[in-house]
Amino acid sequence: MRALLSTSIGVTCAAALTLPLAAPAPALPAPAPVAHAPAAPAAEPLGSTQSLPLRPLGDGASRAAGEPTDSASPSPGGQGLRQLASHRFSLVGVVWDDADTELHGTVQVRTRAAGTGRWSAWQDLETHNTDHSADTGSAERESGTVRGSTAPLWVGDSDGVDVRVHGEAGGPRTGAGDTAALPAGLRVELVDPGDDPQQPPAAGATTAATPAVATPSTGITAPVASPQAGALPDSAALAVAAAESSAVNADLAPLGATEISALSKAESEEQAVVAAGAKPYVGPRPRIVTRKGWGADESLRERAFAYTSTVKAAFIHHSATGNNYTCSQAPSVLRSIYRYHVKSSGWRDFGYNFAVDKCGNIYEGRAGGVSKAVLGAHTLGFNTNSMGIAVLGTYSSKNPPAAAVTAIAKLTAWKLGLFGRNPKGKVTLVSGGSGKYKKGAKVKLHVIAGHRDGFATECPGSRLYKKLGTARKSSATLQGR
């Protein structure tokens, strides 16, 4: 792949990329080009990310074969990119250098299906994605790796992309024209989720003994580092990271388990740690697909786990990745979002604590233990003492499936019950600073809240937000309240 030089950002930019399938390899490999060719990165266990800069697009640029005729055309001060590559991808997003800079404008993409060569219609990317991130001043936010980003979009198996970005009319300006200046360092991210994980071993297969892990309590502090393996080969380090990710659930499932099985209400209450003499209001534990189950590459995330002191509230989100996925593709969607959060956006791990697909399957999100108070990056200003649940899809104008709403109720009945929370109640949280509440403000919120309750955002989509009342009632009923 040819290296491309970054240039200054104008007020409009467009990119057109076609990514044809690689031809079969010859008996002897052809010499690789040397001029401006960056060294290939080391192969990663699962998936890949192509990060391609947007740049000015000249009037005389020729179209690549198969590119749609109505691609964003060059314009004065416009930007674009034409790049040939061989890697397919299934998820698209746009990132930029400064996480504190908003993109005031629109980002649209269209993609070419790898199987048919057909181009999709133009689709919008959600540009206001800062509200899904670590809190200002936190170690994760101040790591120096975090970038500004749009929400990613799941597009399925694709080999071509066309991107156009326009500054908002009347937005913040730099004196050039009547449209907003775009952030510096705009890049399009093309994410390949890699292959699905291998099937688990047959029942009865021997597994290694697992270290004992304490049951959750409300006194965990952040951050807590996991053991360091020292200088190990990549494969060994990956094995250690995977074992650590699984071991934090060792009180719930064997090491290496692909799922945590469902329990009855009585069994769940028996396992729960509650104050002496208090009645446990813990819902039945639902089936949860583990990170191993959906194929998380544990070498991507930071090795240390970070915790908060308790879980007072659950914030419900939609992933805004679109609804064009099947439930069998949900693990691939999760691996793509995970890679986009870590490799493209610069976060320490998958942002949400849990995810739910349109069929109601529940997935472990950020590593650290599903029964523990893991510190996420999902609701800017309110990540402390909360958890984030993302329903895969976009529910601004489309109703969420009943199975997904039911899954929210089941998950919150169990997880909030472990920390003594009433799903129909309210709780006071202290803002860490957001677009809606200043830092230090004490805010009274529903125990099961929508993302928009803590930040000025459309998330979790108006249609899903309207279903939260139903989820609260069902969750409380499952707890026996």
Task: Report whether pLDDT(347) > 70.
Answer: yes
**Nearest residue to 315 via CA among 151, 99, 133, 138:** 133
Helix, coil or strand: residue 167: strand
Look at the chain and count its residues. Answer: 481
Confidence tier at 418 by pLDDT (50, 70, 90): very high
The DSSP secondary-structure symbol of 98 reads -
How far apart CA 368 and CA 241 sit, in angstroms, is 11
Average pLDDT, the chain: 80
Question: How far is the CA of 355 from the CAs of 107, 189, 365, 454, in angstroms?
Answer: 25, 22, 6, 19
Which pairing describes strands 105-113 and 288-289: parallel, antiparallel, or unpaired? unpaired
145 band by pLDDT with thresholds 50, 70 and 90: confident
* Local structure of 258: helix, strand or coil: coil
Q: How far apart are CA 466 and CA 477, in angstroms?
A: 19
C-alpha distance from residue 180 to each of 104, 105, 392, 458 (Å) = 6, 7, 31, 22
Q: Report the greatest alpha carbon distance in the chain.
A: 78
At 154 the three-state DSSP class reads strand
| Ranges 141-145, 166-170, 196-200: which has the least confidence | 196-200
d(CA 352, CA 324): 21
Q: Higher pLDDT residue, 224 or 198?
A: 198
Other CB atoms within 10 A of residue 478 CB: 24
The tens digit of pLDDT for each residue in 235-294 reads 566 688 999 999 999 999 999 999 999 999 999 998 887 655 667 899 999 999 999 999
Give the pairing type, strands 354-356 and 362-364: antiparallel
* Mean pLDDT of the region 448-470: 92
Please name the amino acid found at residue 336. S
- Amino acid making up residue 307: Y
Backbone angles phi, psi at 18, to 5 degrees: -120, 130
* CA 262/CA 381 separation, integer angstroms: 33
Give the pLDDT score at 159: 92
Q: Evaluate if residue 89 carries a pLDDT over 90.
A: yes
Which runs of consecutive H residues, i.e. helices, occur in 95-233? Answer: none
Q: How far apart (Å, rounded) are the C-alpha atoms in residues 95 and 9?
A: 13
Measured distance CA(107)–CA(79) in Å, rounded: 13
> Residue 406 — pLDDT band, cuts 50, 70, 90?
very high
Arithmetic mean of pLDDT, 61-66: 46
What was the pLDDT predicted at 7? 35
Distance of CA 212 to the CA centre of its chain: 30
- Host H or E run for residue 242: helix 234-247
Reading the block at residue 13, the tokens are 């930019």
CB 81 within 8 A of CB 53: yes
Q: How confident is the model at residue 148 (pLDDT cuts 50, 70, 90)?
A: very high
Among 329, 331, 322, smallest CA distance to 350 is for: 331
In the chain, what is the straight-line distance between the N-terminal and C-terminal CA atoms, in Å? 60
Share of the chain above pLDDT 90, in %: 55
CA 432, 433, 438 angle in degrees (round to 5)? 120
How much is the pTM? 0.81
Q: Residue 301's closest CA among 221, 380, 377, 218?
A: 377
| Alpha helices for 272-401 (secondary structure H) | 291-294, 330-339
- For 328, the token pair is 């069998």
Residue 249, CA atoms < 13 Å, CB-side half-sphere: 28
